[in-house]
């Protein structure tokens, strides 16, 4: 029986290195690798093909995912899950690796409880919001994209003596925003996990402006929905002409970093080995405190990701 890989949900840099390593390693283990194109939708539509080395030649440096991805409403319906299972049987596949987030893993948990299919999940989301896990594929590249963009925005901010509000992705998780704000020396940072004392921020920054500061960078996580508010706040309270820059989907693309590629390889090897052994499957490979392990879907689904307190302790508005 074969082993298939698919991507589900948002794309993340590191998926293509994982896909390449999957094909190479599965053949090394004398098994057959398969691609499921376009995620759960492709699983339902039988968009499944055996993968070969030439399919993954030259993809290591590319962002996105050559096999596509999707979000599927149809998979919520049992008749479509039955169709997906029948498609796997047609292709002699009994094991799946899923690159995705918690929603994708919950969908596979339901699927594998209904049918005799094994799966292993690999956290792949720039939001980095999987509970019990320090690192998801894609986040390191996204942080570097944000760093590059914000460094360039700082050039303009300092030249024109302006305030700039930079909105970053992350849904309800402030990891991208908090980490980027620390690394880029932002004066202000708004994330869902921490309340910013704007009165105190105003007092400190006004003193700095009186002592020669002539620009301010503010990072805002999309989940707090206060980008426009902060543009007005900086203009009115600090007296700086202020612009906003919403980085948007550029954060999901780009060449995966060296760290991303190496971690993709590690995740894949551990997932394939688990599936071949056939023991303790239907779990998610996680990376916590420098170690790989597996967690149950129930834990991931019912636990909230918590940003490392060390990062939160470094957050302040004193640039």
Report the alpha-carbon distance of residue 168 to residue 178 in Å, rounded. 10
Closest CA to 151 of 139, 140, 164, 138: 164
H/E element, 44: helix 39-44
Length of the chain: 319
Contacts of 244 (CB under 8 A, 6+ apart): 164, 165, 166, 167, 227, 228, 231
| Number of other residues whose CB lies within 10 A of the CB of residue 230 | 24
Gap between the terminal Cα atoms of the chain: 57
Dist. CA 81–CA 94, nearest whole Å: 15
H/E stretch holding 217 reads: strand 216-221
The residues assigned a catalytic role are 127
Beta-bridge partner residues of 283: 120, 296
Instruction: State the Cα–Cα distance between residues 76 and 163, nearest whole angstrom.
Output: 46
């Amino acid at each position: 029986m074969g082993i298939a890989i698919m991507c589900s949900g948002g794309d993340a840099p590191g998926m293509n290195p994982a896909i390449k390593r999957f094909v190479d390693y599965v053949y090394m283990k004398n098994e057959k690798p398969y691609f499921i194109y376009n995620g759960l939708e492709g699983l339902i539509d039988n968009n499944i093909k055996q993968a070969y080395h030439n399919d993954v030649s030259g993809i290591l440096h590319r962002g996105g995912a050559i096999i596509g991805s999707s979000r599927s409403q149809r998979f919520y319906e049992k008749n479509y899950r039955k169709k997906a299972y029948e498609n796997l049987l047609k292709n002699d596949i009994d094991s799946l690796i899923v690159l995705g987030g918690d929603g994708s893993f919950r969908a596979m948990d339901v699927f594998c409880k209904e049918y005799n299919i094994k799966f292993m999940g690999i956290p792949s989301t720039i939001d980095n919001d999987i509970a019990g896990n320090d690192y998801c594929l894609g986040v390191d590249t996204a942080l570097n994209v944000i760093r590059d963009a914000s460094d360039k925005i700082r050039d303009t901010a300092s030249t024109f003596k302006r305030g700039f509000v930079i909105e970053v992705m992350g849904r309800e998780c402030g990891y991208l925003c908090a980490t980027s704000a620390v690394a880029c020396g932002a004066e202000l940072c708004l994330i869902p996990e921490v309340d910013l004392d704007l009165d105190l921020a105003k007092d400190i920054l006004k003193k700095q402006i009186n002592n020669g500061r002539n620009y301010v960078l503010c990072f805002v996580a999309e989940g707090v929905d206060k980008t426009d508010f902060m543009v007005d706040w900086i203009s009115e309270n600090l007296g700086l002409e202020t612009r906003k820059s919403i980085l948007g989907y550029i954060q999901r693309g780009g060449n995966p970093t060296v760290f991303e590629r190496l971690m993709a390889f590690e995740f894949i090897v551990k997932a394939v080995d688990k599936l071949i052994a056939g023991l303790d499957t239907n779990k998610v490979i996680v990376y916590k405190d420098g170690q790989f392990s597996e967690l149950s879907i129930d834990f991931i689904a019912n636990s909230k990701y918590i940003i490392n307190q060390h990062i939160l302790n470094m957050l302040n508005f004193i640039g």
